[in-house]
Amino acid sequence: MPVAAWTQLFGDHFESLQLDTTKWLTSLPWGRTNSPELQYYAPDAFDLSAYSINRVVADRSTEYAGYNYTSGALTTYSFFSMQYGYFEIRAKMPSGQGLWPAFWLLAANQSSIAEIDVFEILGQQPNTVYMTNHWRDQGGTHRSNQGIYVGPDFSQAYHKFAVDWQPSQIIWYIDDVERFRSSQGVPSEPLNLILNLAVGGAWPGNPDSSTVFPAYLDINYVSGSQQTGGTATPVPTSTPKPMAPPAAPSRLTAAAASRNQINLRWTDNSSNETDFHIERSPNGSSGWTQIATVGANVTTYNNSGLTCGTRYYYRVRAHRHSDNRYSNYSSVAGTKTQACSRRTSAVPFALTAAPASHAEIALSWTNHSNGETGFGIERSPAGADEWMVVATAEKNVTGYLDGQLICSSIYDYRVRTLSPAGEEEYSDTATAATLSCHGETHLYLPLVVMPGPSGQ
């Protein structure tokens, strides 16, 4: 079969941080509601912070009276319509009871019901695609012809959905493979493009307790092309080059908060992550398991339910949902939970260690003592239990910058109070790694020294 030339007349790869309002209206052609659906189509229900991704967001909301949900709809109504051609979208679906994403073509003349549904998917059946065209017969009765394709879970990865609309037939493609065709009721008038994520309604039913919000319809691109000669074999739209992975988090610290909890903190260096994945190990080198996921821009996590007097190691990496890419890991940080039984009145607590440069690690702790003469600071290669005194800090001092270390190396630290009565018990252990030997060479972490209890 000869391959025809195609001219793209409409396209959007969503490469800007702002929606192109010369192409899209942020509602349905007739307004922002569509009874009996439950959502209000809000003008700001779109997240374009990830390059070449338009995330349509459905969420619970009471911002608009009478509606418990907001979501997004886009249409080219009043901007663009086309009669016949090849229409394609690359997208990843949401999943969940009551969610209803769709890409459809609708008559520019609102008195007509001519419609081609490129895809409709019910969130509770994310592996099933409904492909339909609608028309009114000569007697005025609404007719439709529908194909159903059961494939993979379309919420787990991006897939392409397309129609080749010809004067005599419509052919549906999923990932470039024909899945249905119809020669009944083929429209012969210009149609607009519509993208939307509906919530509830007679067909999908309403969300229930299992439905997770916010829910996302992630769109990579949309295009509309027409044949300029010959017999058509659809030519898929090219996929944009992938983005670089998110930047790795840094300055991870771990501090024992109690006998059963360790608190983590890190620096977020990425501008386009979706979440952070937190992993834990018993020894800092093997046996890593993911223990939690926190959202974008979150830089803390409290790991509870731990065993007293036990050392744990942690690392964190950023993740981007749109293309499932991960950053490199942060440096490893570790500490022990507080001892199962201990005298705490004079023991330094909440010891943290953080990289300050390629050769320096900054320590800080909280002072509970009322009569110390100073603090003894000790260091060991991570996990080696080979402790040596590296410094003695004066009373009321609650921080120390340990220098002349080896780049890309992990160290354990502990501190204990010095008093006229002798040396007290050690603090919990804190672990940190110096910065990479191949990273930046001028990274500075300010050290804040806070006074101890008043009167000292």
Cα 8 to Cα 21: distance, rounded to the nearest angstrom: 19
Residues 185 and 298 in one domain: no
What range does the domain containing 270 cover? 250-335
The total of structural domains in the chain comes to 3
Residue 169 falls within a domain, yes or no? Answer: yes
pLDDT score at 445: 41
CATH of the domain at 359: 2.60.40.10
How far apart CA 72 and CA 74 sit, in angstroms, is 7
34 burial level (CB within 10 Å; 0-12, 13-18, 19+)? middle
Q: Cβ distance 284 to 313 under 8 Å?
A: yes
| pLDDT, position 378 | 93
Give the domain-ending residue among 335, 362, 378. 335
Supply the pLDDT for residue 362.
94
- pLDDT at position 66, please? 85
Rounded to two decimals, what is the model's pTM? Answer: 0.53
Is 221 in contact with 240 (CB distance < 8 Å)? yes
Report, as residue numbers or ranges, the catalytic residues.
115, 120
What is the C-alpha to C-alpha distance for residues 180 and 177, in angstroms, rounded to an integer?
Answer: 9
14 and 140 in a single domain? The answer is yes
Residue 49's φ and ψ, nearest 5 degrees, are -70, -25
Residues 6+ apart with CB under 8 A from 259: 308, 309, 337, 338, 339, 340
pLDDT at 322: 67
Q: CB within 8 A of 321, min separation 6: which ones?
A: 216, 218, 274, 275
DSSP structural state of residue 247: P
pLDDT at residue number 233: 42
234 assigned to some structural domain: no
User: What was the pLDDT predicted at 239?
Assistant: 47
Q: What is the pLDDT of residue 424?
A: 67
Tell whether 214 and 256 lie within a shared domain. no
Does one domain contain both 174 and 58?
yes
Of 334, 286, 285, 330, the C-alpha closest to 313 is 334
Same domain, 135 and 283: no
Are both 32 and 148 inside the same structural domain? yes
Distance CA 429, CA 379 (A): 10
292 C-beta neighbours (distance < 10 Å), count = 15
> Is 75 part of any domain?
yes
Domain presence at residue 454: no
**What's the CATH code of the domain at 147?**
2.60.120.200
39 within some domain: yes
Tokens of 146: 């529908």
Supply the pLDDT for residue 230.
41
Q: Considering the domain boundaries, does residue 443 fall inside one?
A: no
List the chain pLDDT tens, one digit each, 456 residues.
234 578 899 999 998 888 999 999 999 998 999 989 999 999 999 998 887 788 999 899 988 878 999 999 999 998 999 999 999 999 999 999 999 999 999 998 878 899 999 999 999 999 999 999 999 998 889 999 999 999 999 999 999 999 999 999 999 999 999 999 999 999 999 999 999 999 999 899 999 999 999 999 999 999 999 987 544 344 444 444 557 888 999 999 999 888 889 999 999 998 888 889 999 999 988 999 999 999 888 999 999 999 998 999 999 999 887 667 899 999 999 999 988 865 555 778 788 999 998 899 999 988 877 778 888 999 988 766 688 899 999 888 999 999 989 988 888 899 988 877 666 677 888 888 888 886 544 343 444 444 444 443
Identify whether residues 311 and 364 lie together within a single domain: no
Same domain, 318 and 406: no
HSE toward the beta carbon, residue 240, CA cutoff 13 A: 20
Each residue's pLDDT tens digit, 84-130: 999 999 999 999 999 999 999 999 887 889 999 999 999 999 999 99
The pLDDT assigned to 384 comes to 67
In a domain? residue 439: no
Separation CA 364–CA 402 (nearest Å): 11
Q: How many CA atoms lie within 13 A of 70 on its CB side?
A: 13
Residue 53 domain flag? yes
pLDDT of residue 438: 65
Same domain for 205 and 112: yes
> 39-41 and 69-71 as β-strands: parallel, antiparallel, unpaired?
parallel
Query: Which residues, listed in sequence order, are joined to residue 115 by a DSSP beta bridge?
Result: 106, 134
89, 188: one domain: yes
